[in-house]
Amino acid sequence: MNWQRAADEFHQYLAVERAYSPHTCAAYARDIEQFRAGYFDRAGVDPAVKKVDAIAIRAHLAVLFRNNDATSIARKLSSLRRFFRFLASRGVIEGNPARTIRSPKRRKALPRALEVDASFRLVEAPSDHRDPRAKRLRVRDAAILEILYGAGLRVSECSGLDTGDVDRRRYGGETVLEIRRGKGNKGRIVPIGSKACAALDAYLEVRPQLRDPKTSAQDPAALFLNHRGGRLSPRSVQRLVGRYAIAAHTDATPHSLRHSFATHLLDGGVDLRSIQELLGHASLASTQIYTKVSLDHLMTVYDAAHPHARKTTGLPADEKPAPVRGRKPPTR
C-alpha cells in the first residue's frame, strides 16, 4: 500500500466509521500531508508506509519546532499516532512507530473569561452601536450575542442552530435550545434565560425580512440568517462578535463568551457537573480548569479585601483598596 492510498483509507475511516466532522478530518489530513511533504523534502521520495520509523518521525518534529509551539506539535504528533495505529490495526504495518515518542510538554493556558460588566457591555452593544446596517441585522446580532453568553455555545453550534431547535413546550414552558450538532456529534439540551429569550423573540419577528434581494430566497431551516437569507457561517459570527467587542471596548471572541458563561456560573455557585452538561464536555477534566479561573479571582478579592492581605501590599491598615468590580452571578 502506498502512502496516498493509506491516507485516503484513513480519511474514509475517520469520516465514515468514526463520524468525525469535516473540519476534524481535514485537520488530520493536513498533519499527515505535512509529514509526507517534509519527508519528501529530506529524502526526495514519498515515505514508504512500512519503512517509516521513530527516527523519521522525530526528524519531522525537529523541523516543526522551528515554527510551531508545543501545543501544535503535540496535536500533529497525535495525528500521526492515530494514523499509524489505524494502519497497524488493518495489518498494513506491524507496529506503531509513533507510539513511544513523547509529546512536548505543553503549558496549560487558562480560559480567557470576561468580567461580568464587560460581558453585559458586549451583549448590549448592538442596541447602542451606530451601525449604518439595517436595524433587523442589529436585532439578529443582539440575539446571537445573548445566546452565546447565555447558553455557552460554541460558534459552530450557534451557526448550526435550526428554527426547530428552539423548544418552548417540552420542558414546563421553559425555553431551551436543542444542540444537535455538538462537538463529536454529541447532542445536549441547554436552557436560556429571559434576556436571551426576549432577544430571540425580537429576532424571530424580523427574520422573515432576511431574504436574497434578487430571488427572495431564504433558508427555511437555519435559525440565524445572513442578509441574503442563507445560513450565517461560523466565520461571520466571529466577525460580528469582533466588531461589537471593539464598540464595547473589550477584547472578546465567541469562545471567550463561552468561557465567561462557565466561569460566571461557577462563581454563582453552580456545581461542576451541571456546567459540564451545559458545555457539552465529554470529560469533567475539561470543565475543572474553570475552578482555577475562579480561584484566581477569589485570591484577587482576598488580597484586596482582607486586612492582613492589605498590609502585605504596602497599603496603610486604614486605607481601603479599590473595590473589585464585576464578578457577581449573572442575572440575565
Active site residues: 154, 183, 255, 258, 281, 290
Q: Give the span between the Cα atoms of 324 and 104, in whole angstroms.
A: 38
* 241 and 252 Cβ atoms separated by less than 8 Å: yes
Longest dimension (CA), the chain: 78
Count of CA atoms in the C-beta half-sphere (13 A) of 230 = 8
Residues composing the chain: 332
The order of strands in the sheet holding 166-167 is 166-167, 176-179, 188-191
**CA neighbor of 135 nearest in space, from 210, 197, 193:** 210
Read off the amino acid at residue 182: G
From the centroid of its chain, how far is CA 267?
21
The span from the CA of 267 to the CA of 269, in Å, is 5
Please state, in angstroms and rounded to a whole number, the distance separating the CA atoms of residues 235 and 180. Answer: 20
φ, ψ (nearest 5 deg) of residue 41 = -60, -35
- SS3 state at 36: helix
Q: Which amino acid is present at 287?
A: T
Q: Looking at the DSSP assignment, which residues form a beta bridge with residue 200? A: none
Kind and range of the H or E element at 167? strand 166-167
Radius of gyration of the chain (CA): 24
Distances (CA, A) of 80 to 6, 54, 60, 275, 315: 12, 11, 11, 33, 55
316: which residues sit within 8 A by CB, 6+ positions away?
Answer: none
